[in-house]
A and B are shown apart, each in its own frame.
Chain A
Amino acid sequence: MTAAGPPLRVEGLGKRFEATVALDEVTFDLRPAELFGLVGPDGAGKTTLFRILATLLLPDRGSATVLGLDVVRDLWAIRARIGYMPGRFSLYPDLSVEENLRFFASVFGTTLEAGYGIIAPIYRQIERFSDRRAGALSGGMKQKLALSCALVHRPDILFLDEPTTGVDAVSRREFWDLLGELKSSGLPILVATPYMDEAARCDRVALMQRGRVLAIDAPAAIGARFPRPLFAVRVHDRYALIQALHAYPHTASALPFGNELHFSDARPDLAPAAIAGELRTYLQSNGLADAEVTPARPGIEDAFMALMGTPQEAVG
């Protein structure tokens, strides 16, 4: 790695597939040893970006360097030094756990033994299944094996495309614990996720939608970008609450969050206490006498939805 440059730099990157703009002027960089999240739903452009960075796809415009190497000119040098875990299960299902690892090591001209030190914290969790066919592993174990395979040649940067999609909450937590350990060993990591709660575990995140970066910041700072006072509303009959808030003329946003609903008011200069008071009165007069309205602190998901403006499916 060049001593001075960032481990990853992306500048004005663009890519289209016929009429679909997959990436539109994407610019960001990674700091040394940074855990950087690409957060966005399907269709945001995350996979296209990874494929360009992994030198599997040419950009239409813009440029990107990985470890100081150009993704178009220096593809062979880049391929030897990155670890890439594609979104779809990328292992050989008919090979055993150990055979997969030995295969990926040999492709990079190394051995499982030589790479054991770096993968040990992850591999130890699945090592007792080393004879099992990779196709017969549970979702969480597949992800740990895929991560081991992406690390076995001791890469200098790690690209993880939705490593936790379809994985249960327990395995997701374990996986992110492992990423935290890798990061503290100094490895820069670019990781994509559709789960907003995972974004909070990154140093910085880029929120993406339809090929564009909506915001780049530390997770806590992104929550603070929510533009209005936010309230949490709790009530027994939540469907009635949603309907009542859709009918309320001052609703700017009314979106369920677990067992409560986050509400913001469209009137810009009304004091928070007045907003809450009027809302309580309105809900009570609409048969929701048990409504509790309390101030809430906006999180990443609140901010993301506010930045999205129109939802993904606002087509045509």
Chain B
Amino acid sequence: MTAVIDVHELTRRFGRFTAVDAISFDVKAGEVFGFLGANGAGKTTAIKMLIGLLVPTSGRASVAGFDVLTRAEDVRRHIGYMSQRFSLYEDLTVRENITLYGGIYGLSDAEIRGRGDALIEGLGLGHASLERVAALPLGWKQKLAFSVALLHRPAVVFLDEPTSGVDPITRRQFWEMIYAAAARGTTVFVTTHYLDEAEYCDRVSIMVDGRIGALGTPDELKREYSDATLEEVFVRLARPAA
């Protein structure tokens, strides 16, 4: 299977501080990959390099077949991104957000209409399509933001703590959407502080002080460290960075 994300010795320094220290890994098409680590371990810096927002100090990475350094614009065109707090414009309606993002990603008017209709229907948001996003409950916003991030059918979608603060049932519905996207072939790269969610991933990596401290399927990691849960593995490996 081809690697959709291919990372080799990727490094980023800020002055004397090495935030990301020669990490290497790959993620395959249709895989749900959990990118874990303590606060300050280097996750955000690594993600910024993978989505073409931060230039690596050394090493290389390609995402969706494009080098993040030399083809950053193509990378951004072929990925979806959704973060913990911001993804949609709160003062625009559901429909306006879809139109805006569809336009940014170069979809035709017909595509925006067709995919927008399907998206709204799939989420059961028909009654709320003319509502301002600010008026939606957080769980709805996050599901909508995820769907919008998939609107241009990217090869990879990056989800940065997508379920923080979301109620437990909606959190699980969100993961069903992740599974469904992966089943359609979309690669999902996700960070979370809920370690029960990490168990839902095909493979996870745990970053520790800028390096990949462990990488494997949840079962492999639990076997390797003789722990019953990924939370125990995580606590064993991840020291909060100073």
Residues of A within 8 A of B (CB): 40-43, 129, 138-141, 162, 165-174, 194-196, 209, 238-239, 242, 255-259, 301, 304-305, 308, 311-313, 315-316
Contact = CB atoms under 8 A, between A and B. Distances in A.
Nearest to B166: A41
B38 A170 contact: yes
Contacts of B140: 313, 315
A258 B39 CA distance: 22
The 6 closest A-B pairs by CB, nearest first: A41-B167, A139-B39, A138-B40, A311-B169, A313-B139, A258-B199
A138 B241 CA distance: 7
Contacts, number: 128
B171 to A, nearest CB: 9
Contact of A169 (B138, B176, B179, B235): B235
B234 A304 contact: no
Interface in B203-242: 218-219, 229-231, 234-235, 238-242
A72 to B, nearest CB: 30
Contact of A43 (B37, B137, B173, B239): B137
A140 B167 contact: no
Given A41-B138, A169-B234, A239-B183, A305 B195 contact: no
Contacts of B199: 258-259
Interface in B124-138: 127-128, 136-138
Interface residues of B, number: 47
A242 B240 CA distance: 35
Given A169-B193, A242-B179, A312 B139 contact: yes
Nearest to A139: B39
Given A239-B183, A315-B128, A308 B175 contact: no
B122 interface: no
> Which of B137, B175, B218: most chain A CB closer than 10 A?
B137
Contact of A42 (B138, B173, B193): B138
Given A138-B240, A242-B179, A42 B166 contact: yes
A259 B221 CA distance: 13
